[in-house]
Homo-oligomer: A and B are copies of this chain.
């Protein structure tokens, strides 16, 4: 076999997955600090990448990452959904404090993605559901109740339907509307089908070219926009090849727990490193049209639910006057 594996890597948009992969060798990674708490089916993990070494090891930019995992989120439990929105609100508020974003910082929410492709519509649906207040501050500043800040929200479309880099559009809007902070919502690709629509990542690193479902060529970052950019992402799709590759791992673990003789468990596959094996899987699946990006059958409902959670969480985190205990009342 002569696979060209140079410059190939198992890409994931989630720092948590990157950390799992990088840590699987067992040793801790210098410059990567992690902690997590779990409460009532909701697990919150913090990953801080503080060194270039840690950044290289994970293939993620230095910065702060929050991951909220809720395995039961696909079960249409509206009580659980409300609790997740509340946790998101609390974590997001703490995150803003950590980043020294002031209570009256003006926020522009950018909903990345394509309205017409359901698994990519997360950003536009969130934008449709957040409370927008900036125009009240502009048009009648004296009449805005205390406890609110100026929030604006735009779904700029995708390159294929606008003909313009999304980054260009966002920069133009930032130039004109002058927010102090951009929050960009995006649908992500996951390495794991179980994380699809059950995981929310928040990061202060902005959006980078090539991340998310749609291919972007220009990032949304402090450097490009001139203001900080917090990214909120949810994995909504996974490659078929990734499903297969993960299944190999699970099979190996399954057999290892059951057989004394750990040789030849998966035959020739045993000798491949993960990246070689994934490359091989792609080689095998691709020509037959088997390596599609896939999403669960129930994606319409899932995306609606998680978009509402994010919108509710943001409304409560961004406006003191919105009660974190009853966040969903403010979305429609």
Bound Cα distance from A69 to B163, whole angstroms: 32
Bound Cα distance from A133 to B162, whole angstroms: 9
- Nearest B-chain residue to A298, judged by Cβ: B117
Bound Cα distance from A254 to B295, whole angstroms: 27
With a 10 A CB-CB cut-off, give which of A138, A173, A175, A296 has the most chain B CB atoms. Answer: A173
Residues in B neighbouring A289, C-beta threshold 8 A: 71, 74, 193-194, 198
Does A175 lie within 8 Å of B175, measured CB to CB? yes
With a 10 A CB-CB cut-off, give which of A117, A150, A168 has the most chain B CB atoms. Answer: A168
Residues in B neighbouring A192, C-beta threshold 8 A: 290
Q: Is A299 an interface residue (CB 8 A)?
A: yes
Bound Cα distance from A251 to B245, whole angstroms: 11
Bound Cα distance from A198 to B165, whole angstroms: 32
CB within 8 Å of B: which of A151-208? 151-157, 159-165, 168-169, 171-177, 192-194, 196, 198
1/0 contact string of A269-298 vs chain B (CB within 8 Å) = 110000000001101110011101111111
Bound Cα distance from A301 to B156, whole angstroms: 20
Bound Cα distance from A219 to B290, whole angstroms: 32
Bound Cα distance from A247 to B243, whole angstroms: 10
- Option from B71, B120, B251, B284 in Cβ contact (under 8 Å) with A284: B251
Residues in B neighbouring A264, C-beta threshold 8 A: 264, 267-268
Query: A72 → chain B, closest Cβ, in Å?
Result: 9
Q: Is A246 an interface residue (CB 8 A)?
A: yes
Query: A323 → chain B, closest Cβ, in Å?
Result: 15
Bound Cα distance from A298 to B192, whole angstroms: 19
Does B153 lie within 8 Å of A163, measured CB to CB? yes
Does B300 lie within 8 Å of A237, measured CB to CB? no
Does B299 lie within 8 Å of A295, measured CB to CB? yes
Does A268 lie within 8 Å of B266, measured CB to CB? yes
Q: Is A96 an interface residue (CB 8 A)?
A: no
Query: A22 → chain B, closest Cβ, in Å?
Result: 21
- Option from B132, B159, B198, B267 in Cβ contact (under 8 Å) with A267: B267
Residues in B neighbouring A154, C-beta threshold 8 A: 156-157, 162, 164, 169
Q: Which 10 pairs from chain A and chain B are nearest by CB?
A: A172-B172, A134-B163, A152-B163, A267-B267, A294-B294, A132-B163, A172-B176, A244-B247, A293-B297, A264-B267
